[in-house]
């Protein structure tokens, strides 16, 4: 993640020039022309470093520095000062500034000061980056559920949260609220005032995932110019949420098992054992038991992770939750967009109830958000719903695949957007189903058609509940 530098200067030409320079050097640059604007950006964006002009139109730079240091004491601040203000700049350093650079700015001197300022706050910079990347929407902390199953899950969450170290494996389809459950476990636990960090194991290649989890030493590999503190170290005494754990490579699974057994690890390229106290909560939409049988997931790690298993049923299996969720999201987006949807027509709710919701709570939330944003009404009517819901969802899978291909070929996204995860899943199912039919159910031949390892094909067949398509094998 790029270091974020906030540039504060009221002169447009200087601000634009330095912004371009910083971006060219690989930094993410934010700009502010006033002290108040700088303070707002500091609170909302948590910059890694601030380049702060001494003379601003509303608040002088010294006051901005003092307020920044009161609210975010860890951030590095470099003062920009005219030649005649050197004495003031020295005074600023005594009040917490990291350094100062005289105007007119010498770019080499400025960039060197920025580099040193970032280096001096290396650990805090890692924390800032994680806070930005993993910031949790507090409104998503609890999603209501009235079904007996969800009440049972909430009871389990409150009970298991009281144990500081017990591992929890949350399973369920995409969009069912696994991250929300993980967050609840942390917030109800004795670790609630410590870090809660998360990482999606499917979003990074093996080498990057290993570096993110365990960190690396300077020189561990070609681009390792600085030591990096990993998530396990940053989450010490807190909770680490490993989403899509089923996508983790076998190599990293071995290292994670060691962490669970000994609570120690080594950074990539390191020789020193680092001891931590971290609670591991993991989640997956895969069938991990099938993955264990297919040798795609370690059995010993599986049982270590699922000391407390929680399965979240899909929305279609707990329809009594749909109305309360609908009202919850309507209220939230009414406030956000200053709208007034206060009623739901009976016919509208009948259509919503009949729809299978393949994207679960996430799909419902996204649809309500689009409706409230785009429509001006006080009543939620059938005409506001997407065609897939009005038609009962019968053509949704095929339509999704067609839309997916059209977008991939360069056509514009549809006005109401796409359900990415649903499209990928449906596309996989269609391709596998077609290959199995053309192979008369023979897995080996279907694997060759798909250029897919047979174990991976078998895993997907089971995960998609397509085992009935299997008629034999070579």
Domain presence at residue 121: yes
What span, in angstroms and rounded, lies between the C-alpha atoms of 168 and 183?
Answer: 12
Q: What global pTM score does this model have?
A: 0.57
| Partners of 32 in beta bridges | 8
Q: Let me know whether 209 and 273 are in one domain.
A: yes
Residue 129 shares a structural domain with residue 142: no
The whole-angstrom separation of Cα 105 and Cα 123 is 28
Q: What is the mean pLDDT of residues 85-96?
A: 80
Q: Within this chain, do residues 192 and 212 fall inside the same structural domain, yes or no?
A: yes
Angle between helices 35-45 and 61-71 (to 10 degrees): 20
Distance between CA 185 and CA 433 in Å, rounded? Answer: 39
pLDDT at 401: 59
Domain-terminating residue out of 394, 424, 453: 394
- Give the burial class of 72: count Cβ atoms within 10 A of its Cβ; 0-12 exposed, 13-18 middle, 19 or more buried: middle
Task: Compare 441 and 376 and report the one with higher pLDDT.
Answer: 376
- Let me know whether 123 and 217 are in one domain: no
Do residues 324 and 375 both lie within one domain? yes
| Residue written as token pair 């000062």 | 81
CB within 8 Å of 166: residues ≥ 6 apart = 160, 279, 307, 308
Predicted pLDDT of residue 408: 60
The tens digit of pLDDT for each residue in 314-335 reads: 999 999 999 999 999 998 899 8
| Alpha helix positions (H), 263-298 | 288-293
Predicted confidence at residue 429, as pLDDT, reads: 83
How many structural domains does the chain have? 3
Per-residue pLDDT tens digits for 341-360:
989 999 999 999 989 898 89
Both 293 and 158 in one domain: the answer is yes
Residue 456 parent element (H or E): helix 454-463
Query: Residue 307 maps to which CATH number?
Result: 3.40.50.300
pLDDT for residue 460: 79
Evaluate whether residue 440 is within a structural domain: no
> If you average pLDDT over residues 184-188, what whole number do you get?
89
Q: Are residues 129 and 242 in the same domain?
A: no
pLDDT for 123 beyond 60: no
pLDDT: is 225 or 411 the higher one?
225
pLDDT at 232: 92
Q: How confident is the model at residue 471, as a pLDDT?
A: 43
CA distance 249 to 296: 8
Q: Which two tokens stand for residue 455?
A: 């174990």
259 and 163 in a single domain? The answer is yes
Report yes or no on 302 lying in a domain.
yes
Pick the last residue of a domain from 133, 158, 191: 133
473 pLDDT band, cuts 50/70/90, is very low
Q: Does residue 149 lie in a domain region?
A: yes
Please report the pLDDT score of residue 244 as a whole number: 92
> Within a domain: residue 366?
yes
**CATH code, domain with 59:** 3.40.50.2300
- Answer whether residue 399 shows pLDDT above 90: no
The per-residue pLDDT for 228 is 84
Q: Specify whether 143 is located in the same domain as 275.
A: yes
Inside any domain, residue 444: no
Asked if 307 and 342 sit in the same domain, the reply is: no
Helix (H, G, I), strand (E, B) or coil at 273: coil
Residues 49 and 107 both lie in one domain:
yes
In this structure, is residue 456 part of a structural domain? no
Domain of residue 329, CATH code: 1.10.8.60
Structural domain of 73: 4-133
* 191 within domain boundaries: yes
The per-residue pLDDT for 361 is: 92
pLDDT band at 84, cuts 50/70/90? low
Mean of all residue pLDDT scores within the chain: 84
Residue 30 DSSP SS3: strand
> Which of residues 373, 394, 415 is at a domain's end?
394
Read out DSSP for 315-364? GGG-GGGHHHHHHHHHHHHHHHHT----EE-HHHHHHHHHS--TTHHHHH
- CA-CA distance, 399 to 396, in Å (whole number)? 5
Within this chain, do residues 151 and 270 fall inside the same structural domain, yes or no? yes
* Helix or strand holding residue 21 (H, E): helix 12-24
The Cα 149–Cα 312 span in angstroms is 8
């Amino acid at each position: 993640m790029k270091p974020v530098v906030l540039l504060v200067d009221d002169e447009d030409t200087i601000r634009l020039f330095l912004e371009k320079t910083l971006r060219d050097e690989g930094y993410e640059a934010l700009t502010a022309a006033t002290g108040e604007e700088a303070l707002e950006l500091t609170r909302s964006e948590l910059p890694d470093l601030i380049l702060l002009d001494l003379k601003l139109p509303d608040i002088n730079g010294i006051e901005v520095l003092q307020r920044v240091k009161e609210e975010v004491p860890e951030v590095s601040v470099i003062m920009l000062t005219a030649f005649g203000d050197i004495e003031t700049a020295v005074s600023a350093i005594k009040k917490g500034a990291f350094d100062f650079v005289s105007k007119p700015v010498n770019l080499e001197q400025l960039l060197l000061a920025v580099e040193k300022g970032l280096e001096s706050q290396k650990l805090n910079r890692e924390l800032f980056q994680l806070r930005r990347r993993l910031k949790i929407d507090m409104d998503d902390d609890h999603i209501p559920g009235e079904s007996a199953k969800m009440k049972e899950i909430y009871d389990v969450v409150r009970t298991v949260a009281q144990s500081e170290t017990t591992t929890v494996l949350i399973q369920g389809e995409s969009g069912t609220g696994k991250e929300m459950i993980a967050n609840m476990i942390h917030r109800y636990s004795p670790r609630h005032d410590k870090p809660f960090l998360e990482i999606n194991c499917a979003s990074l290649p093996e080498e990057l995932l290993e570096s993110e989890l365990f960190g690396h030493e300077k020189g561990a590999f070609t681009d390792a110019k600085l030591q990096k503190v990993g998530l396990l170290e940053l989450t010490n005494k807190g909770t680490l949420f490993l989403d899509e754990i089923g996508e983790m490579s076998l190599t990293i699974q071995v290292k994670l098992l060691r962490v669970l057994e000994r609570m120690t690890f080594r950074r990539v390229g390191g020789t020193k054992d680092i001891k931590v106290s971290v609670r591991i909560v993991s989640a997956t939409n895969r069938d991990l038991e099938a993955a264990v049988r297919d040798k795609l997931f370690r059995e010993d790690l599986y049982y270590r992770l699922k000391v407390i298993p929680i399965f979240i049923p899909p929305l279609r299996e707990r329809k009594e939750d749909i109305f309360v969720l609908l009202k919850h999201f309507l209220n939230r987006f009414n406030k956000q967009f200053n709208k007034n949807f206060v009623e739901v027509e009976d016919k509208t709710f009948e259509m919503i109830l009949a729809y299978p919701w393949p994207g679960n709570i996430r799909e419902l939330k996204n649809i309500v958000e689009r409706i409230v944003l785009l429509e001006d009404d006080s009543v939620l009517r059938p005409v506001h719903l997407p065609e897939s819901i009005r038609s009962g969802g019968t053509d949704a899978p095929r339509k999704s695949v067609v839309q997916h291909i059209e977008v991939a070929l360069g056509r514009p996204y549809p006005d109401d957007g796409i359900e990415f995860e649903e499209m990928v899943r449906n596309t996989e199912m269609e391709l596998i189903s077609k290959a199995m039919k053309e192979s008369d159910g023979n897995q080996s031949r279907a694997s060759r058609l798909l250029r897919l390892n047979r174990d991976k094909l078998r895993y997907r067949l089971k995960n998609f509940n397509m085992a009935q398509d299997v008629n034999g094998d070579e």
